[in-house]
């Protein structure tokens, strides 16, 4: 949403419209080095100079905008992402007793910034030690990263991962999974983790904003260091070796935690701003 936010903010100044921007995440611009980050901050400052209100999906992003003098505290707030439809993504009980073969699910864009390279490397480390686990991927594969395409397809060919491409709904995949993984470098407020929480699945994710807002380490999943295949590998092993009764508890905790991310709250927030 970076381009729509910036373009609509510029246009609103000329047409005298009140503009509300929604920062779902800072995007990859803030991962490209200090110079690119500085340019991004400058563009935001100019385009948001007359902004009416700004919604953020996590406290880190909001504090970053305030600290860099892009917006003031008074015209902004944080909401819990885009929320989750608890009627559609409803709780599905999981019993981890006597479970031997674990099905780990990744859902999202198959791109470098989502930590796919590190995840593939961690899977290779697990296979070398003969751990019995299935890794399922759903989402669009980045057509511009030839190295990632080659590596990803090689893992499919060797039977190390299972890839289903784009799907209409992820609900059935989450229900069939035992744990959801997201090794992203940065998030706004991960939609995939919110949906996994609502269905009641433990999660493994990078210890970054947008992920650690949803996961409490040891409560409803485990956090690991971003950009580290070794840390991710250790988190997978840790989950596999966690006693079944604790996995069952994590599953219930995930669902209970999802209740505060009900999309009805977010919709009411938008309506109160607009009306």
Can you give the pLDDT at residue 29? Answer: 61
At residue 261, does pLDDT exceed 90?
yes
Instruction: Give tens-digit pLDDT for 143-154.
Output: 999 999 999 999
Share of the chain above pLDDT 90, in %: 72
Look up the pTM and report it: 0.89
Instruction: Give tens-digit pLDDT for 11-65.
Output: 888 888 888 999 988 766 666 667 878 888 888 898 898 899 999 999 989 999 9
Closest by Cα among 227, 183, 222, 225 to 203: 222
Q: Residue 159: left if φ>0, alpha if ψ -120 to 50, beta else—which one?
A: left
Cβ neighbourhood burial of 13 (10 Å; 0-12, 13-18, 19+): middle
Tell me the two tokens of residue 249. 């508890």
Can you give the pLDDT at residue 27? Answer: 65
């Amino acid at each position: 949403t970076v381009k729509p936010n910036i373009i609509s903010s510029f246009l609103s100044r000329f047409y005298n419209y009140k503009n509300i921007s929604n920062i779902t995440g800072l995007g990859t611009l803030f991962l490209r080095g200090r110079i690119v980050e500085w340019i991004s901050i400058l563009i935001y400052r100019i385009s948001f100079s007359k902004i009416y209100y700004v919604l953020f999906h996590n406290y880190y992003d909001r504090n970053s905008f305030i600290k860099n003098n892009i917006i003031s505290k008074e015209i902004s707030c944080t909401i819990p992402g885009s929320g989750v439809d608890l009627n559609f993504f409803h709780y599905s009980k999981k019993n981890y007793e006597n479970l031997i073969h674990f099905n780990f699910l990744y859902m999202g864009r198959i791109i470098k910034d989502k930590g796919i390279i590190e995840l593939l490397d961690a899977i290779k480390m697990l296979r070398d030690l003969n751990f019995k686990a299935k890794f399922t991927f759903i989402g669009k594969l980045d057509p511009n990263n030839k190295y990632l395409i080659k590596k990803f397809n090689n893992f499919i060919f060797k039977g190390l991962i299972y890839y289903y491409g784009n799907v209409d709904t992820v609900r059935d995949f989450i229900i069939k999974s035992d744990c959801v993984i997201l090794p992203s470098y940065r998030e706004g407020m991960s939609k995939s983790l919110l949906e996994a929480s609502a269905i009641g699945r433990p999660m493994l994710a990078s210890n970054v904003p947008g992920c650690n807002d949803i996961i409490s380490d040891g409560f409803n999943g485990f956090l690991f260091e971003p950009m580290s295949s070794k840390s991710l590998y250790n988190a997978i092993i840790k989950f596999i070796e966690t006693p079944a009764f604790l996995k069952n508890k994590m599953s219930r905790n995930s669902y209970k935690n999802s209740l505060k991310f009900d999309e009805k709250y977010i919709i009411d927030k938008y309506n109160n701003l607009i009306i």
